[in-house]
Amino acid sequence: MNEHYPFVNPPLPYAYDSLEPYIDTQTMYIHHDRQLQRYVVELNTILRDYPELQNLSLEELLTNTESLPEEIRQSIINYGGGVYNHIIYFNGMINSQERSQAGTLYPIILRDFGTIENFFNEYKRNALSVFGSGYAWLVVDQNGTLSIVTTPNQNTPISFGLCDLGHGCLGACLFSAAF
C-alpha cells in the first residue's frame, strides 16, 4: 500500500479461501477485488485534482477531515474510510489454525473485559446493533484502554480520536450483509 496518493489495492495477505468456513471465497473476492478496488479508484480520482492532498497518508486524510475542502470532504470520508477499513479488516484476520492467544492483545482484553467470553459477547452484541452497513471495532484510546464502538457506512474510528496514530487500530469486524 502506498503511503499516499496514488493509493493501490494491496493483495490479500492470504488465499481467498483461507478463512473458510467462516468467510467464504466469494465474500472475500467481493470485498477485496470489487469493493476495496472501487474505493481505491474513487479515492485516487478525487485526489487527482487536489495536489495539496496527494502527499497525505490515509490516516492524515481521515484524522483531519475538518480541514479537507468541503466539496470533497464526505467523499474522502466514504472512499478513504472504505480503503482504510477494508485493509484493517483483511490484515486483522488470520486462519484459525494459526491463531494464538499468546499475543500481546490477549492479556489486555482480559484486563478490560474480564474474560475472553465476555469480550466476544460484547463484540457480538455491538455488531448486531448496527443497522445497515457498518462496523464494530475494538479500539484503543489515548490512555491505552480498550473499548468496542460501532460506526455506520465506511466511517472510521480514527476520525474520532480512537485507534489514534500512536496506538494504531487493533481490530475490526465487518458486520452488515448490506455492505
User: Cβ 11 to Fe ion, closest distance in Å?
Assistant: 16
> Rounded CA gap, 159 and 139, in Å?
12
Exactly one of 18, 35, 44, 57 binds Fe ion (CB under 5 A); which one? 35
Report, in Å, the least distance between residue 58 CB and Fe ion. Answer: 16
Q: Which is nearer to Fe ion, 79 or 119 (CB)?
A: 79
* Stretch of 16-24, 35-43, 63-71, 105-113 lying at the interface with Fe ion (CB under 5 A): 35-43
101 vs 9, 32, 88, 92, 129, CA distance in Å?
30, 27, 19, 14, 27
Q: Is there binding between residue 31 and Fe ion (CB under 5 A)?
A: yes
Residue type (1 letter), 33: D
Residue whose grid cell is 455506520: 152
Count of residues that interact with Fe ion, criterion CB under 5 A: 3
Contact 16, 93 (CB under 8 A): no
Which residues bind to Fe ion, rule: CB under 5 A?
Answer: 31, 35, 179
